[in-house]
């Protein structure tokens, strides 16, 4: 292997890693809510958009320092997530999966409409967190922002592991995900867990939006596509399995980059999708999902 082709592969790998991290974060958000409610939240992509747009406003117009803006944006979107759960999911007395899914579609349309009214139709951009000078790495180049993205993803994963394994609330959430009725019998307030899952998933969505906006810009209509890719990653990793989602997200990202680089950019998304579907044909429960668990879920 010549050094140039090695650096090519490395370059595609970086590109894929950057895409993949975003898919992974979106997929994690899907999983949180799926575990708590058994539904797919179509407004997941909208959380990402809100995070990105709010961050742009706070850093570019209000001129807050990045850490402060980061924090307030995350809090803001988390509150939106809580509001969504309180006003649209919680009041539903006899929830069915499809009904809740359509409700999330309705919410996503409303959030999109509001974002359009507040932020307008143009694409918004913001400065990178640190310099835009590329770093060389064995012949390939990488943007400091990509390192930020990977670093923040790792931090979130660490936080996730800690939360679900070492805190009481996290354990309660896991209990609800495994068997809601049993968890309720054990005295866990499952309604509260649903709210918490929306809060967490909105927060993760917001962070995804914040960290990619410097690279991809943000406009009000981007949510749907980000959501679809994230959904693909979530299914591939096994719905409900967040570690699987992260690996699957990164995997899809890298697959797309390699497909674009070596086969055809015209069909790059299709190639990734076909492989995704082939994997599902063989293992319908996803790479890391358990078919046992899947049978228990309604959707």
Partner 1 sequence: MKNRSLLILCALSVLLSLASTTVVSAGEYHVGCIFSITGKASWLGEPERNTAEMIAKKINEAGGINGNKLVLHVEDDQGDNTQAVNAANKLIKKDKVCAIIGPSTSATSMAIIKIVDEAKIPLLSCAGAAVIVEPVAERKWVFKTPQKDSDCVKRIYDHMKSKGLKDIGIITTTTGFGGAGREQLKKIAAEYGINLVADETYDPTATDMTAQLMKIKNAGAQAVVNWSIEPAQSIVPQNMKQLKMTIPLYQSHGFGNLKYVEAAGEAAEGIIFPAGRLLAVDTVPADHPQKKVLADYRDEYEKNNKDKVSTFGGHAYDALNILANALKKVGDDPAKLRDEIEKTEFVGTAGVFKFSATDHCGLDKTAFEMLTVKNGKFVVLGQ
Partner 2 sequence: MKIKDYVGIGIVMAAVAVAPKLVGNEYYLGVLIFAALNCLTCTGLCLLMGYAGQISIGHGAFIAVGAYTSAVLTTKLGWSPWTAMGCGVILAAGIAVFMGLPTMRLKGHYLAMATLGFASIIHIVAVAAVDVTGGPSGITGIPRLQLFGFVLNSDTRNFYFYWGIVVAGLLLAVNLIHSRVGRGLQAIHGSEDAAASLGVNIAVDKIKVLVLSAVYASISGSLYAHYVLFIDPGPFDVMHSVLLVTMVAVGGLHNIWGAFSGALLLSLLPEGLSFLSEYLQTFDIRYRTDYDTLIYGGILLLIMLFLPEGLFEGLSRLLKTVFSLRRKWGGGLARHAE
Interface with partner 1 (CB under 8 A): 8, 11-12, 14-15, 18-19, 22, 116, 120-123, 125, 132, 134, 141-143, 212, 215-217, 219, 221-222, 225, 257-258, 260-261, 265-266, 268-269
Q: Does 238 bind partner 2 (CB under 8 A)?
A: no
In the bound complex, what is the minimum distance in angstroms from residue 52's beta carbon to partner 1? 11
d(CA 25, CA 80): 18
109 vs 147, which CB is nearer to partner 2? 109
Q: Could you tell me how many residues make up the chain? A: 299
Site string for partner 2, 189-228 (x = CB under 8 A): -----------------------------------x---x
Query: How wide is the angle at C-alpha 224 spanned by C-alphas 93 and 114, nearest 5°?
Result: 70
d(CA 45, CA 81): 12
| H-run or E-run covering 135 | strand 135-137
Task: Tell me which long-range contacts 177-181 makes (C-beta under 8 A, separation of at least 24).
Answer: 177/35, 177/36, 177/240, 179/296
Shortest CA distance to 23 belongs to which of 263, 242, 288?
242
Give the rounded distance of the alpha carbon of 105 from its chain centre: 17
In the bound complex, what is the minimum distance in angstroms from residue 92's beta carbon to partner 1? 25
DSSP state of 142: E
In the set 92, 154, 178, 263, which binds partner 2 (CB under 8 A)?
92
In the bound complex, what is the minimum distance in angstroms from residue 267's beta carbon to partner 1? 10
Chain residues binding partner 2 by CB under 8 A are 40, 42, 88, 91-92, 94, 96, 98-99, 102-103, 105-110, 112-114, 116-117, 224, 228, 231-232, 235, 239, 264, 266-267, 269-270, 273-274, 276-277, 280-281, 284, 294, 297-299
């Amino acid at each position: 292997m010549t050094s140039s082709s090695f650096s090519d592969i490395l370059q595609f790998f970086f590109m894929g890693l950057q895409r993949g991290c975003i898919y992974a974060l979106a997929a994690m958000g899907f999983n949180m809510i799926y575990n708590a409610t058994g539904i797919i939240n179509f407004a997941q992509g909208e959380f990402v958009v809100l995070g990105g747009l709010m961050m742009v406003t706070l850093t570019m117009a209000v001129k807050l320092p990045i850490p402060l803006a980061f924090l307030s944006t995350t809090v803001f979107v988390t509150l939106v997530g809580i509001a969504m759960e309180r006003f649209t999911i919680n009041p539903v007395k006899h929830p069915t999966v499809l009904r809740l899914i359509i409700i999330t579609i309705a919410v996503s349309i409303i959030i999109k409409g509001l974002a359009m009214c507040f932020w307008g139709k143009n694409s918004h951009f913001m400065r990178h967190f640190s310099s835009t000078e590329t770093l060389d790495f064995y012949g390939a180049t990488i943007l400091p922002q990509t390192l930020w993205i990977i670093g923040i993803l790792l931090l979130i994963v660490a936080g996730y592991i800690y939360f679900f394994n070492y805190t009481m609330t996290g354990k309660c959430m896991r209990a609800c995900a495994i068997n809601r009725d049993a968890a309720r019998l054990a005295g866990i307030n499952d309604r509260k867990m649903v709210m918490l899952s929306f809060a967490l998933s909105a927060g993760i969505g917001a962070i995804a939006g914040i960290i990619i906006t410097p690279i991809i810009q943000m406009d009000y209509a981007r949510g749907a596509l980000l959501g679809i890719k994230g959904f693909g990653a979530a299914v591939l990793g096994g719905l409900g399995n967040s570690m699987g989602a992260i690996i699957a997200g990164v995997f899809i990202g890298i697959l797309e980059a390699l497909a674009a680089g070596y086969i055809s950019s015209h069909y790059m998304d299709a190639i990734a999708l076909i492989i995704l579907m082939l994997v599902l044909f063989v293992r319908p429960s996803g790479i890391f999902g358990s078919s046992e668990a899947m049978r228990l879920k309604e959707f």
